[in-house]
Structure 1
Amino acid sequence: MNSPYNKKDNESLSDDIVWHNATVTHADRESLKQQKSVVLWFTGLSGSGKSTVANAVESKLLSLGKFSYLLDGDNVRHGLNKDLGFSDQDRIENIRRIGEVAKLFVDSGSIVLTAFISPFISDRQQVRELLQPQQFLEVFIDTPIEVCEQRDPKGLYKKARAGEIKHFTGIDSEYQAPVSPEIHVKTAEFSVEQCAEQIVAQLEQRGYLKLSAV
């Protein structure tokens, strides 16, 4: 199996570092799990319901006997990305790291769910380009900011409006909505259960939940 990294990825690497090709392949792992691996990239404003819907989707996948893992924005910042703040540059690095982690999970044959605001189109595109075609599905959790503020589960909008939080997406930092997401979910119009069912149905229709050509 060839390296999953392209030439551009390797430009900054030392000549002494080479990709180790494992005996067990990506295809072997998918065959064992009887599924097609993919990244479900949940993006949307804070309070839109990304983590809630992603969690419901993972529960449904578990009930179907599928192998998945949820990477949540807050959880990742407790460990891997705890050194990063919320400036535009730190947000870019946050997503870059998550993209690399998600890529490893895809190589393991898993269905990866990532719940991050990921406000910039270019960063989401960069993650897409790390993966093979059809290994990345952008899931736009499309919720009006007025609804997100009404929910405000962590009280973050209130703090941002009061100037206590800087660089808050949707207030004083830009959110660039997806132009053509593979899956478009509107949590203001449908329940969490209905949104999760919509996403799982899309996975099934696209052939990810059984081992066959997608």
Structure 2
Amino acid sequence: MRAFARSLLTVALVLVLSPGLAGASVLAQSTFDTDVDGWTTFLVTAGNPLSNIAFAAASGNPGGAARHDAPSDGLTSYFRGPSKFHSAFHSAVGGSVSWDIATINHSGDTFFRSSDLTILAGVNRIRLYVTPPVPIFPTYSEYEADFTTAAGWFFFDGVTETVATQSQIDAVLLGADWFSIRAEYWSSATPDITFLDNVVVRGVPEPASLLLLGLGATALFFGTRRRH
């Protein structure tokens, strides 16, 4: 039994070290290690005009981050993801999305509610709302949401917002052509600052990953059984 357990562990190690198998479920990511990786920012108003974005080399979680200084204009700013995330969402049904946020606010600022992450497919969109308020830099909040109804997604068809069904979530992912993350959280006369880092879209676990978990559990079982 001990030899069998060792063999299973050897196979598991080979799977871990094999190119393309370790971390195979990551479909797209931005870690902002050297630049803003194609991200932009925009204001929610007619035409969605571009706003400011900068690479912050030492402000990430860890490493670099994308930084937005919100203008004092009464509008809400959003980070907009590059097109690589659109194609990633097309393969992310049953997967998840995660991202890290930190902010700098000022005395008297008031947190306001708005959609925190939005994925569009034409006029249809799914979106999430995050509460409580995000932390103050250098502390980050690390968010992750599965693409299931349990995550609390809402569906908006351009007219009405309702709690999203699984079929609506899946349909928007399959047709995704826009991806944005909120870049402004505080209402005040003094502009606040938001840092974005570690945006990752993951698919469902690869068969090799599931096999690895199974082999590891089996090896652990037989190894433990042998010692008793």
Q: Do they fold alike, i.e. is TM over 0.5?
A: no
Q: Report the TM-score, using the length of structure 2 for normalisation.
A: 0.22
Q: Report the TM-score, using the length of structure 1 for normalisation.
A: 0.23
